[in-house]
């Protein structure tokens, strides 16, 4: 190891690192003032001077610290070996920004085979290709990836940049997405969702770029819902569809807690009322459609609601069985036309034993009785 004068040392154009962050250099300079240069730089003789192979940050920080000399290791290296060593050191230190790393690899490949380059860097060919993909991005996006400041450091990453390759050819949109990533601190997955949304519904792109991601997802749900309704309905899925609706309705009923409003602001209550009103309108419209269909296809249809005798669920008598516990709904015991004393129906004069009246089966007279009249209607007919 030698102690070289700083004015004997020159930098090299082949240095992989092109960006030196001022705050980082100041920190290193302060450390050098206090403790000196702990690790010597590596140089090679060139044109009567010494050209830096490894350690340009230490060289620059030493100048900032006011040093006149720096410890150095002098090696005789070819251009190829010098570039390889410089890049390898930075790879091991993870010191290069992604664009510098990609450009350095590209330079290596001008005088190295892919196989030798991968072996030198200790990475796979697929990794090298991923590094080089970043150079396919417009220069403006590359600069955004290199940029480092106190507000956006780490917000726009190499992973984000790779996702933006899908927008190559539309620089304006790419730059707006970069700003959205920084402003909303979007993750890589969230950025992918945003780009996918713009690809799926291109006429909503402007909205997606302006609104938060959760609003984008809501717009997508509404759009997909409308698109789904335009497709032919598959009859074989109808039963599953109904069960899914019933589960969702049960969940919604569980959420309708009147205590909630005591903890909401006026703005939140306004938003909640708007949501509920929209839901009520849609559900009421759908219920009316189902009602009209029943009236059209079931000429004996009467909208009579009853309580399930076992679990208390309110059902239409036309359901025949409770949708929760599957008990038979029409019980002679609950019918205003059943004479419990004589255990018979006053309309048909048919005998119905009390045990059958209280716990009817599908074979019981009350199961589909058209004369059934509940003593107390659970809900008035619409």
Residue-wise pLDDT tens digits, 32-81: 888 888 889 899 998 889 998 888 888 889 998 999 999 999 999 888 78
Q: Whose CA is closest to 191, among 181, 203, 202, 204? A: 181
pLDDT-based confidence at 339, cuts 50/70/90? very high
Residues 130-156: what's their mean pLDDT? 79
pLDDT-based confidence at 21, cuts 50/70/90? low
Q: Whose CA is closest to 44, among 70, 15, 76, 16? A: 76
- 82, 111 Cβ separation under 8 angstroms: no
Instruction: Name the average pLDDT for the chain.
Output: 87
Put residue 334 in one of left, alpha, beta given phi > 0 → left and psi -120 to 50 → alpha.
alpha
pLDDT at residue 176 in the model: 95
- 191, 174 Cβ separation under 8 angstroms: no
Q: How confident is the model over 279-330, as pLDDT tens digits?
A: 999 999 999 999 999 989 877 788 889 989 889 889 998 999 998 899 999 9
Report d(CA 34, CA 168) in Å as an integer. Answer: 48
The percent of residues in the chain predicted with pLDDT above 70, rounded, is: 93
pLDDT at residue 14 in the model: 59
Res 229 pLDDT > 80: no
Higher pLDDT among residues 236 and 112, named by residue = 112
User: What's the CATH number of domain 2-134, 1.20.1250.20, 3.90.1530.30, 3.40.350.10, 3.40.50.300?
Assistant: 3.90.1530.30
What is the DSSP code string of 212-239? Answer: -HHHHHHHHHHHHHHHHHTSPP-GGGHH
The percent of residues in the chain predicted with pLDDT above 90, rounded, is: 51
**Hey, what long-range contacts does 84-88 have (CB within 8 A, 24 or more apart)?**
84/108, 84/112, 84/120, 85/42, 85/53, 85/54, 86/12, 86/14, 86/15, 86/16, 86/53, 86/54, 87/16, 87/121, 88/120, 88/121
- 220, 197 Cβ separation under 8 angstroms: yes
Report d(CA 341, CA 191) in Å as an integer. Answer: 73
Question: Is the pTM higher than 0.75?
Answer: no
- Strands 69-74, 2-5: parallel, antiparallel or unpaired by DSSP? antiparallel
């Amino acid at each position: 190891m030698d102690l070289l004068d700083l004015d004997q040392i020159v930098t090299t154009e082949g240095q992989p690192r092109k960006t030196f962050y001022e705050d980082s250099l100041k920190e290193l300079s302060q450390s050098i003032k206090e403790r000196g240069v702990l690790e010597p730089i590596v140089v090679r003789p060139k044109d009567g001077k010494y050209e830096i192979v490894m350690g340009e940050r230490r060289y620059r920080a030493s100048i900032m610290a006011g040093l006149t000399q720096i410890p150095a290791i002098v090696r005789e290296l070819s251009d190829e070996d010098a570039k390889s060593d410089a890049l390898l050191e930075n790879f091991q230190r993870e010191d290069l920004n992604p664009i510098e790393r990609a450009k350095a690899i590209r330079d290596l490949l001008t005088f190295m085979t892919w196989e030798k380059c991968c072996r030198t860097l200790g990475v796979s060919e697929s990794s090298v290709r991923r590094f080089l993909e970043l150079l396919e991005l417009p220069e403006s996006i590359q600069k955004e990836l290199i940029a480092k400041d106190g507000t956006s450091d780490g917000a726009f990453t190499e992973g984000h940049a790779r996702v933006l390759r899908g927008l190559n050819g539309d620089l304006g949109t790419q730059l707006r997405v970069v700003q959205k990533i920084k402003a909303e601190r979007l993750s890589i997955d969230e950025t992918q969702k945003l780009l996918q949304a713009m690809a799926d519904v291109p006429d909503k792109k402007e909205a997606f770029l302006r609104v938060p991601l959760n609003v984008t997802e809501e717009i997508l749900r509404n759009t997909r819902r409308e698109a789904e309704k335009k497709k032919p309905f598959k009859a074989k899925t109808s039963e599953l569809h109904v069960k899914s609706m019933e589960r969702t309705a049960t969940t919604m009923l569980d959420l309708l807690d009147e205590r909630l409003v005591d903890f909401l602001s006026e703005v939140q209550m306004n938003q909640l009322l708007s949501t509920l009103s929209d839901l009520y309108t849609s559900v009421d419209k759908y219920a009316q459609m189902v009602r009209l269909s029943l009236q059209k296809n079931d000429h004996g249809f009467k909208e009579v609601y009853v309580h399930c005798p076992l679990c208390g669920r309110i059902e239409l008598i036309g359901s025949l069985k409770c949708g929760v516990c599957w008990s038979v709904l029409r019980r002679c015991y609950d019918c205003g036309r059943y004479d419990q004393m004589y255990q018979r129906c006053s309309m048909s004069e048919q005998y119905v034993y009390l045990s059958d009246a209280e716990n009817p089966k599908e074979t019981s007279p009350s199961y589909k009785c058209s004369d059934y009249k509940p003593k107390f209607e659970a809900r008035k007919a619409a």
